[in-house]
Amino acid sequence: MMSGRLCASVRFISVGIAVREVGGLPVVVSVEQGSEAERAGVRAGDRVTKIDGEDALRLFARRLKEQAGSSTLAAARVQAMSKLFDGKQDTSLNVSWTGFDGLERTATLRRDWSERNMGVRVRRAGKVGIVEFDVFTQASAVDFMRALMDRLRGVRGLIIDLRNNGGGEADAMAEVASAFLPHGMSLGRFTDRSHSIQFEPQTRANMLYAAYAIESFNAPVVILTSARTSSAAEIFVAAMKDARRAFIVGQTTCGCVLAIRRRHILPDGGELDVSEMDYYTAEGKRLEGEGLAPDLSIKLERQDLHAHRDRAMERAIERLTNKSRN
């Protein structure tokens, strides 16, 4: 399998594990290599039971109440789960968890700076290309176009993984969509509170911020989605789905597409983002609060995480491989 990374990095405070809601429970989905958590024996698929002695589900419920400003319940639940270990740098907390043996274990983990590559990751599985977008930016759009002209040239199908994509820039998303859809095609419209159209992204023939003509990709496409797929990523999925240009695999998207036009500075120095624009697809469908259901639903399961198995990716590769043989 050939792979490559085209990314920028971001820093954040972490205890070395990432947790998601799986079957209504806080479950470890990844453990940072070399972290205290890894040395303590935490593994993907383990269930977090307590944090500093407090029941993890009770803490989740408290964090959920703090997400009153979230646009949808799905977004609130994702954010609340991601904040279970929040705290200041160089402080510690006790985390208890159970593995598949049913035994509860506890370790003290320190909050420290961590780094993650954000952008585009590109690889190939035989004749199938796989592109993972963390966010849509002008840089990621340019990197994707370069990949189409280089390492993805000749693939017979493409998987676009948007399961961790929270959106980004509408213009950058439109440039990526332009590789798959006819030029000049509407990708929907943003309207203000009086229902006047303020912005209508469209596909185009040339990139805005690079001297490239947009490379067209005509082979079959599968898009992977989850509850974390939101904003510009949902607009991309909707456009591809409406045009029957892609098959969608995974989970229903967030339904979080309200646009922020202005950031308000508060007297105490805080910042307030107010959603001032709504979004409708080119076919007139409102996505906010609804999201997009996949064509093939694949639930995240603890046993798959424990076995490091990605069933959504497996089904996507299988579908495209079979199509290339026909």
Per-residue confidence in pLDDT tens, the chain, 326 aa: 334 444 456 778 899 999 999 999 999 999 999 999 999 999 999 999 999 999 999 999 999 998 866 667 888 888 899 999 999 999 999 999 999 999 999 999 999 988 777 789 999 999 999 999 999 999 999 999 999 999 999 999 999 999 999 999 999 999 999 999 999 999 999 888 777 888 889 999 999 878 888 989 999 999 999 999 999 999 999 999 999 999 999 999 999 887 555 555 667 666 655 567 788 888 888 888 889 999 999 999 999 999 999 999 999 999 999 887 76
CA distances from 41 to 7, 34, 98, 316 (A): 30, 11, 11, 31
3-state secondary structure of 125: strand
* One domain for residues 240 and 146: yes
Rounded Cα distance, 56 and 64, in Å? 12
* One domain for residues 176 and 242: yes
52 part of a folded domain: yes
244 part of a folded domain: yes
* One domain for residues 110 and 120: no
pLDDT for the residue numbered 191? 85
* One domain for residues 177 and 278: yes
* Residue ending a domain, choose from 81, 114, 147: 114
* One domain for residues 91 and 144: no
pLDDT for the residue numbered 4? 46
β-sheet with 221-225: strand ranges across: 2-14, 112-125, 128-133, 157-161, 221-225, 247-250, 296-297
Quote the DSSP letter at residue 272: E
CATH code of the domain in which 159 resides:
3.90.226.10
Residue 148 one-letter amino acid:
L
64 part of a folded domain: yes
Q: What's the token pair of residue 7?
A: 């990314």
Rounded Cα distance, 21 and 58, in Å? 14
4 part of a folded domain: no
Rounded Cα distance, 60 and 56, in Å? 6
Cα R_g (the chain), whole angstroms: 21
Range of the domain at 45: 13-114
110 part of a folded domain: yes
152 part of a folded domain: yes
- Whether the CB-CB separation of 256 and 225 falls below 8 Å is answered with no
* Residue ending a domain, choose from 99, 114, 129: 114
pLDDT for the residue numbered 3? 41
- Whether the CB-CB separation of 184 and 203 falls below 8 Å is answered with yes
pLDDT for the residue numbered 199? 84
Residue 144 one-letter amino acid:
F
**Please, which residues have CB within 8 angstroms of residue 111's CB and are 6 or more apart in sequence?**
13, 14, 15, 85, 87, 88, 89, 90, 91, 92, 93
5 part of a folded domain: no
* Residue ending a domain, choose from 98, 114, 130: 114
Partner residues linked to 17 by β-bridges: 31
pLDDT for the residue numbered 98? 97
Q: What's the token pair of residue 102?
A: 């049913």
1 part of a folded domain: no
Helix (H) or strand (E) holding 175: helix 170-177
Structural domain tally of the chain?
A: 2
Rounded Cα distance, 201 and 29, in Å? 35
Partner residues linked to 272 by β-bridges: 264
Helix (H) or strand (E) holding 54: strand 54-55
